[in-house]
Amino acid sequence: MTSSAIIALAAALAIALSTIGPSIAQGIAASRAMDAIARQPEAAGDIRSTLILSLGLMEALTIYGLLIAFMLVSKI
């Protein structure tokens, strides 16, 4: 395997692994938020704003993986 092939594989793994965790976490967080809103509809505004903030922070993890992949691809 050449070094460019290894770097390309590392970039692909960086994207794949940095996407799996946050996507599962986002699904769980959204599910739990909908359960909480169903149990306590009067707190929907607070729950929604907390959910949006936490989803944004989870999405940042995926963006970091994309940044690492771009840095690796630039070395090819």
pLDDT digits (tens, 9 = 90+) for 1-38: 788 899 999 999 989 989 999 999 999 999 999 999 99
Which domains are delineated in the chain?
3-73 (1.20.20.10)
Whether this model's pTM surpasses 0.75: yes
| Burial of 11 per CB tally in 10 Å (0-12, 13-18, 19+) | buried
Count CB atoms within 10 A of the CB of residue 36. Answer: 17
Average pLDDT over residues 40-67: 94
Q: What is the per-residue pLDDT for 1?
A: 78
Alpha-carbon separation of residue 23 from 19, 30, 44, 73 (angstroms): 6, 11, 23, 23
Burial 50-76 (b: 16+ CB within 10 A, else e): ebeeebeebeeebeebeebbeebeeee
